[in-house]
Chains A and B, each alone.
Chain A
Amino acid sequence: MSSSIKSRLAGSHGRVYWRSLGELADTPEFREYLHREFPEQASEWNDPKGRRQFLKLMSASLALAGVGACTKQPTEEIVPYVRQPEDLVPGRPLFFASAIPFSGVAHPVLVESHMGHPTKIEGNPEHQASLGATDTFTQAAILGLYDPDRARAITNRGEIKPWGLFFSAMLSAGSQQKGRQGAGLRFLSGPITSPSMAEVMASVLATFPQAKWHQYDPISSDGARAAALAEGAGGDAIYHFDKADVVVTLDADFLTCGPGSVRYQKDFATHRRITEERKEMSRLYAIESTPTLTGAKADHRLAMKASEVEGFGRQLAGAVGAPAPAGPASGATDPASVIGKWLAAIAKDLQAHRGRSLVIAGQYQPASVHTLARSINQALGNVGSTVTYGPSIEAAPTDHTASLTDLVRAMDAGQVDVLVMLGGLNPVYSAPVDLKFAEKLKKVNLSVYHGLYVDETASLCQWNVPDAHPLESWGDSRSFDGTVTITQPLIAPLYDGHSAVEVLATLTSQPDRRGHVILKDYWTRAFAVGPWTIRSGDGQPFKNFDAFWRRTLHDGFINGTAVADGGPATPFGVMAVPAAVPITTAVAGMRADQAAAGAAPAPQPPPAAPATPPPATTTAPPQAATGAQGGLELIFRPDPTVWDGRFSNNGWLQELPKPLTKVTWDATAWVSPQLARERGLEDGDVIELRYRGNAARMPIFRVPGHPQQSVTVFFGYGRQKAGNVGNATTSAQAFNAFLLRTSDAPWFGSGLEIAKTGERHPLAVTQEHHVMEGRAPVRVATIEEYKKEPKIIAEQGETPPRTLTMYPEYKYEGYKWGMAIDIGSCTGCSACTIACVAENNIPIVGKEEVASGREMHWIRVDHYFAGNEDDNAVEAYHQPVPCMQCENAPCELVCPVAATTHSSEGLNDMVYNRCVGTRYCSNNCPYKVRRFNFLLYQDWDTQSLYPMRNPDVSVRSRGVMEKCTYCVQRINQARIDAKREDRDIRDGEVLTACQQVCPSDAIVFGNLNDPNSQVSKLKLQERNYGVLESLNTRPRTTYLAVLRNPNPELEPQASRSTTEH
């Protein structure tokens, strides 16, 4: 970077910090710099094909362009079935209930399938863990299925081999190990909640008594697990936000992280939503280190170092009179201090809501914090109402770090002959750096890797077995609430994939069973004598297995298996059924113990395990971490969109703007603005992080509300073998947080040194400006103010009277579609964006294009900060922005070819095939929701993506404008169906993709001409307002203002609005 830019960066102070690099862009040096990073179009110049094409056209370019318009259509073929499936109506989709497991936990879904191609994933509305919603990862799974970079064949040392050969290899390995009781046999997998898989694993361990099964998931809450194990059986917490009036989080991001987040969001939103009937809302205190979306929703947010949370928790326990195990207390204790005031206020509030309050420990906090939270909840009598503790859904819960350390030690000692790694967890990339997994892996004689991709680990293993995508395979797994959920295939494996259980089965007495057989066999026996309480919907037992199984495949889950309904811990052992499997009951019992022993150190509470000091004790005492010895605190977090890197090759997730920063395609290290100022850092400056002898680099991003002496780094980037989408450029390979992670401090630790490298990494940010500039696109009031004077919302903007126009009003008879978005409920999780991408065939444009301001998302989630930069309690708001479908649409007026017009139902139609691409409409759109195909963004070359596209939505080509249509394809289908039945469309019959996926039901769509429709009712609320109504655009999409519920003791009722900046 040239000095002039540096000086301008240095010159920027105060508010400027969350303004953008864009503002620096007017200096040529910066552009020059960007061009070096993205040599714009240089690639085409050098690529011979491009050049030839160029020379071809060079001669008569304009003439040639004309020809494109008047060509005849190519002839198409129709290829009918030979024998048509029974229930299939060509041209109409089928829906199947299934589950997408994530870290072993089921995410229940309904999968839409067109002529045998799965095209869209929705949540399973019948299922308690989903109620129709999903998270972003589940939405994006559909792209994962069709990813052309998936592992395509079984290979041995890179040579393609048939399944048979692998099969025999396993058999021989098995027979060798038999003699040694399987002493050299090791399995590594993520946590397993699948009963059938657990049984297979148990039976394998029974066959090889000395074999060991290790579990590792880089993003798993060892703290929670350890705490739960310490409680013995039934230590796993399930929260009930629908009952919680006061919620205190101790560094917990329950809204967007963890298997329960989808359901938690629903309950939390419902319990906070103000309606005509309900005028009470819950209150959320967030005590957190790294800013999270949960913190963004909090009424009060207190930022502190991750290491200080425990101390705060302990004091809180003291304040509410809960027994707290001894341990470090946080520095500030005197009631005058900020912490003191907070403690007092929160404690008081909690006491006032005994039984209706809830304290949640963060999944990335050590066991001690979880224990504290539990004892506080007990003291407040919340257990049983707002939180219930039940048996674990994991078979053999284990301290993962310890388990992996154990494995690596064995590998190092040369005790591992055969290592089978199941389920595509990529330890070479993601194992703690001090374990040196890659180099220890060399000491393994026979390494088998089973996963979706040929990743960093796979390339170091002898056998690679492609995993089958959940949409390709049979299986069962349990959702966070314990419900056993069935995974069923919608399409035959595209790339010869085999599910983990099939690979594992090769070492059982019936080695060649396919997933379906294993699954059905297990449940046949379980139906007969399982520990399971299997009941039909009406609570009655099924009359026979077939009824049960048909029902289960239809519903996608097994009723009555939820922990709440008395569902047991996932049994880890071989079910005792005579003649089903050739092992007797007695043996089974014995095996189960052995197996448990095999899965050491599972049963023993980790704190006691000498081999691996439990994370709890590794927490650096606060005073050590206050930066006295100059060290900063380093906090690890999974990336909000690519997680630990398992989604690195998923373009949808890569391009999804990361919440709070809106950065795409890159990992960033978060620092507080103050720290950035101290160190003279600007967004995009690459820093070197030195921590416990390890080093990594990362571009920084300034995030208000971040603890001042901490730095947060995110996993998932710097991948070398992720695939064409996820591979990092050589310069970016150092942006890998796993390079810093050590096994003794998996989530945070002190002693970090950062140094400015002077390099810059251009970040592709979709929103560069995060203050509202007094324009109040988001309107806010406290619940008290709103109750006192509901007009306070309307007064934050101006709405011209409808009579103020020279033209007669256009009457909309019949349907009149409209949408209401409750930004009070929106958490900013961005599931709507991904759902929209999947539903509407929205292309991925890539980092360079996003950086040039050309992202294609039809619904974006705007994010605004409010409050003082140096104030930790900075407020953040999220606002999903689809097309407003204005009745007086400025875009329509200026289109020269009538490519965008108004439909009789008030939709702002966009006709792609008529569009000539003047981009005038976009210029004239005050909401800037229109998107333009500046280049040929749709991937026409990758055949494997064709079946993924939604056949009901045109695939847009180069040079045309596109935008949100309110999912007009769904409206049309519903209208046609209704007309065929001579009825009207029912309220709720048409769900837009964003509405359907939204976990907090923030988006409601419907017919405004029907006074009883949900949307009409919402729009009657006083807090309903339209953005930029002063322009008289008459938006059909309106918003429900944010209502906050601050504690008067912490926030004097000064009339506050986010608009005074």
Chain B
Amino acid sequence: MEHKRPVAALYGVMAEFDDTTALVDAARRTYAEGYRKFEAYSPFPIHDLFEAMHIRDKRVSLLVLLGGLTGMLTGLGLQIWVSAVAYPLNIAGRPYISWPMFIPVTFELTILVAAFAAVFGMFALNGLPMPYHPVFNVERFAMHASQDRFYLAIEANDPKFDRAATRSFLQSLGAKDVSDVEE
């Protein structure tokens, strides 16, 4: 029989696995079970896991596309405005808009803004920075999640979440150790 600690609020229940196969397998079954608000944690990316959890987020790519376009237009616009509108000057007998010579800068700006979009977009979508997170309350998670252990946490606000049932379900997945995650 287990003894319950009094907890303020519960973030969810977390199970630890010690290899990738177990985690992926667990993830797949959790999804099959109907859980949606759950998250798997691993020290490195596992592609099978994404499939198992049906994760598909295209927004980063979209952001990059938009960023690229912005950069391109800014670059081209700036150059044309500067050399033809702001202060038109006869440079070496070239026309004011000698577009072939504007390509390099346009290109570089495209890349630059796109790269910003990729990185900051990714962090933003991931909700980072987030130095504090409930999962770190789990001692072993904090020790191993970034190194050599694999975790799966079902969140309390999942409609299907039931503390006891979920715990037992996780144990049934062959988790080494299941623990509550405090808010």
Chain B residue numbers with a CB within 8 Å of A891 are 92
Chain B residue numbers with a CB within 8 Å of A940 are none
Which of B59-67, B71-79, B93-101, B169-177 lines the interface with chain A? B93-101
Is A901 interfacial (CB-CB < 8 Å)? yes
A474 to B94, CA, bound (A): 56
Complex contact B91–A898 (CB within 8 A): yes
Complex contact A808–B95 (CB within 8 A): yes
Residues of chain A in range 311-367 having any CB-CB distance to chain B below 8 Å: none
Q: Which of B89, B92, B94 has the most CB of A within 10 A?
A: B92
Chain A residue numbers with a CB within 8 Å of B91 are 892-893, 898, 901-902
Q: How far is the CB of B101 from chain A (nearest CB, A)?
A: 8
Q: Is the interface of B mostly helix, strand, loop or mixed?
A: loop
B95 nearest in chain A by CB position: A807
Contact of B93 (CB < 8 Å), options: A807, A898, A903, A904: A807
Chain B residue numbers with a CB within 8 Å of A903 are 90
Complex contact A889–B93 (CB within 8 A): yes
Q: How far is the CB of B100 from chain A (nearest CB, A)?
A: 9
A1019 to B34, CA, bound (A): 92
Complex contact A893–B89 (CB within 8 A): no
A891 to B95, CA, bound (A): 16
Residues of chain A in range 873-892 having any CB-CB distance to chain B below 8 Å: 886-892
Q: How large is the interface on A (under 10, 10 to 19, 20 to 34, 35 or more residues)?
A: 10 to 19
Give per-residue flags for A808-843: 1 if the beta carbon is below 8 A from chain B beta carbons, else 0: 111000000000000000000000000000000000
Q: How far is the CB of A913 from chain B (nearest CB, A)?
A: 15
Chain A residue numbers with a CB within 8 Å of B95 are 807-808
Q: How far is the CB of A904 from chain B (nearest CB, A)?
A: 8
A399 to B95, CA, bound (A): 70
Chain B residue numbers with a CB within 8 Å of A807 are 93-95, 98
Complex contact A902–B98 (CB within 8 A): no
Q: How far is the CB of A895 from chain B (nearest CB, A)?
A: 8
A890 to B89, CA, bound (A): 15
Contact of A888 (CB < 8 Å), options: B87, B89, B92, B98: B92
Q: How far is the CB of A28 from chain B (nearest CB, A)?
A: 40
Chain B residue numbers with a CB within 8 Å of A808 are 95
A898 to B82, CA, bound (A): 12
Give per-residue flags for B32-56: 1 if the beta carbon is below 8 A from chain A beta carbons, else 0: 0000000000000000000000000
Chain A residue numbers with a CB within 8 Å of B92 are 886, 888-893, 902
A1034 to B92, CA, bound (A): 10
Q: How far is the CB of B96 from chain A (nearest CB, A)?
A: 10
Complex contact B93–A810 (CB within 8 A): yes
Residues of chain A in range 842-892 having any CB-CB distance to chain B below 8 Å: 886-892
Chain A residue numbers with a CB within 8 Å of B87 are 898
Complex contact B90–A893 (CB within 8 A): no
A891 nearest in chain B by CB position: B92
Contact of B89 (CB < 8 Å), options: A886, A889, A901: A901
A808 to B93, CA, bound (A): 9
Q: How far is the CB of A921 from chain B (nearest CB, A)?
A: 10
Known contacts A807-B95, A807-B98, A898 near B89 by CB under 8 Å: yes
Q: How far is the CB of A840 from chain B (nearest CB, A)?
A: 24
A893 to B91, CA, bound (A): 6
- Top 7 nearest A-B pairs (CB, nearest first) are A902-B90, A893-B92, A892-B92, A888-B93, A901-B89, A892-B91, A810-B93
- Some 25 contacts from A to B, beta carbons below 8 A apart, are A807-B93, A807-B94, A807-B98, A808-B95, A810-B90, A810-B93, A889-B92, A889-B93, A891-B92, A892-B91, A892-B92, A893-B91, A893-B92, A893-B94, A898-B87, A898-B89, A898-B91, A901-B89, A901-B90, A901-B91, A902-B89, A902-B92, A903-B90, A904-B90, A1034-B93
Chain A interface residues (CB < 8 Å from chain B): 807-810, 886-893, 898, 901-904, 1034
Please name 13 further chain A to chain B contacts, defined as beta carbons within 8 Å, in addition to the given A807-B95, A898-B87, A903-B90, sorted by A numbering.
A807-B93, A807-B94, A807-B98, A810-B90, A887-B93, A888-B92, A889-B92, A890-B92, A892-B91, A898-B89, A902-B92, A904-B90, A1034-B93
